[in-house]
Amino acid sequence: MLTNRQEQIIKEAINIIDKKGIQGLTIKNLSKAIGISEPGIYRHFESKFHILVEILDEFKDNIQKFNQQLMKSDLNSLQKIERIYQTHLNLFTENPAIISVIFAEEIFNNDKKLYKKINEILKSNENIISQIIEEGQNAGEIKSEIDKKQIALILMGALRLLVKKWKQNLYSFNLKLEGEELLKTIKILIIK
């Protein structure tokens, strides 16, 4: 469990990455933004690497908890897909800076451990969505003539592209409404 100060450091690190990129995330910039000394940062995190690990681990843990609850629910496959979209759209609307970390795996290319963590998150999401789609196909809710992994790729890729478009357009449109419209369109394509 993170302390209040660690949560503050994580939140500010995400904001710095959003504004200045991964290169802008330095202990010096972080300490200035928070208003504590550089050694104060080091009392909470060993290094910049450990801050990034915590950001990814926290996101991964939250996704896993969400996925476990979702899979235990009585929702049908289409309702589960809707819940995934709604949850992600709410997360990004409320915390737009997180987009710069979650949808920018290229910033972790230079570190194999961090890149591996991002890949684990993506694989986990792909697997859970594929599992939901397979349930829907078995229940006759989703077209079975389309491979579940292809549908998962469409769902994940479409959401990712919409969110990145929203960020690039400086959040100038209603992400939730656009996301709902996108999901309606995808449903037309996949519902049996």
Over residues 63-98, the pLDDT tens digits come to: 999 999 999 999 999 999 999 999 999 999 999 998
Evaluate if residue 8 carries a pLDDT over 80: yes
Q: Could you tell me the pLDDT band of residue 102, with boundaries at 50, 70 and 90?
A: confident
CA triplet 119, 6, 23: central angle to 5 degrees?
55
Same domain? For 18 and 63 the reply is: no
Percent of the chain with pLDDT over 90: 74
pLDDT given at position 131 = 97
* Domain assignment of residue 50, yes or no: no
Look up the domain containing 115 and give its range.
Answer: 56-190
Pseudo-torsion of CA 183, 176, 12, 49, nearest 10°? 0
* Domain assignment of residue 92, yes or no: yes
pTM: 0.88
Environment class of 126 (CB within 10 Å of its CB; exposed 0-12, middle 13-18, buried 19+): middle
Same domain? For 40 and 60 the reply is: no
CA triplet 106, 110, 115: central angle to 5 degrees?
60
Same domain? For 13 and 88 the reply is: no
* Domain assignment of residue 51, yes or no: no
Evaluate if residue 134 carries a pLDDT over 90: yes
Looking at per-residue confidence, does 6 or 21 come out higher?
A: 6
Evaluate if residue 183 carries a pLDDT over 80: yes
Q: Do 121 and 63 contact (CB within 8 A), yes or no?
A: yes
pLDDT given at position 30 = 95
Residues contacting residue 52 through CB under 8 Å, at least 6 positions apart: 13, 25, 108, 111, 114
Question: How does pLDDT run across 13-60, given as a tens digit for each residue?
Answer: 999 988 988 888 999 999 999 999 999 999 999 999 899 999 989 888
Q: What is the CATH number of the domain that holds 40?
A: 1.10.10.60
Same domain? For 103 and 61 the reply is: yes
